[in-house]
Structure 1
């Protein structure tokens, strides 16, 4: 399987996790009556950024000519990798590893507090945290593939541009 095929598979993987994250966080935000902590809002920003970048990355993965330059694709992958990593750590740290059935925990936790159903919001936040790590793994692998694709396309570009710019020079016997 080629690197482009692997890259397309990773784009589908990233889209699925981004869609799940966006829908769960959107539901968390919709059901809150007392506002949302910054980590939840950041996670929503992350999912919107990831969706917008996938609008660029999916066609660019089909055809590298649409990528404008392979380094742009690599930069977007690196940004998504960093954003997913930060969101996964922030949400996991704020949520803590507790049981969602513990009402004293859910009423005092910053993430679950402020919802009509804190136990449900806790389970959604735990699912989002897991999905963030899956998305991070996808973007991390995609970053590696983007590095490999950018290196191979740069070599191809050098080979083509070097021979296309200079006309063939005559050899010494022809002079």
Structure 2
């Protein structure tokens, strides 16, 4: 079973990633020609939803899926992918004004459309929000690995002092 903080971060991140998925899907539906940066953004959103949100459901239902080392691995991959996708798209759109027609016409992602420009800026923002959530979850997962072990169950044994109980005799 995952912690309440971990589950709440996953719910917020799921909302962000669904928004990204919708916006990027709209960008892909209206594009002429393929753009690898936009395609990587949709891969990142899908990967994040599958291996963060859906995997969390399995980890909450079955403790065999909640190994700390597996959770750290998924959190690290999501952390890297969201940072890479957000940065690649931000570099691609170069964050100019969406009302500058000269910029819009010369950009391969905006393709002359103010609507596509605003959608790509929103995708960058939501991917960075998701990136910071994955960063927080990665730190929490690493703390869990160091405290419970790579394959730990999350329960720690404390040293007992004083009078022994009957089970210790």
TM-score over 0.5 (shorter chain): yes
Give the structure, 1 or 2, with the largest relative contact order (CA under 8 Å, sep 6 or more).
Answer: 1
Give 1:80's match in structure 2, choosing from 50, 54, 78.
78
1:12 and 2:30 matched: no
TM-score, normalising length: structure 1: 0.80
Give the CA RMSD over aligned residues: 2.1
Structure 2 residue runs of 5 or longer lacking an equivalent are 158-169
1:145 and 2:140 matched: yes
**Conserved? CA contact 1:36–1:111, under 8 Å:** no
Give 1:127's match in structure 2, choosing from 122, 126, 129.
122
* Structure 1 runs of 4+ with >6 Å offset: 157-160
Match of 1:168? Answer: none
Structure 1 residue runs of 5 or longer lacking an equivalent are 161-175
Q: Which has the larger radius of gyration?
A: 1
The aligned runs of 1:32-51 (5 Å cut-off) are 32=31, 34-51=32-49
TM-score, normalising length: structure 2: 0.82
Give 1:98's match in structure 2, choosing from 90, 96, 99.
96
Shift of the alpha carbon at 1:9?
1.1
Cα deviation digits, residues 62-118 of structure 1 (max 9, x gap): 3671425210111000000000010111000010121111111111101111xxx71
Larger helix share, 1 or 2: 1
Q: What is the number of residues matched between the two proteins?
A: 153
Match of 2:164? Answer: none
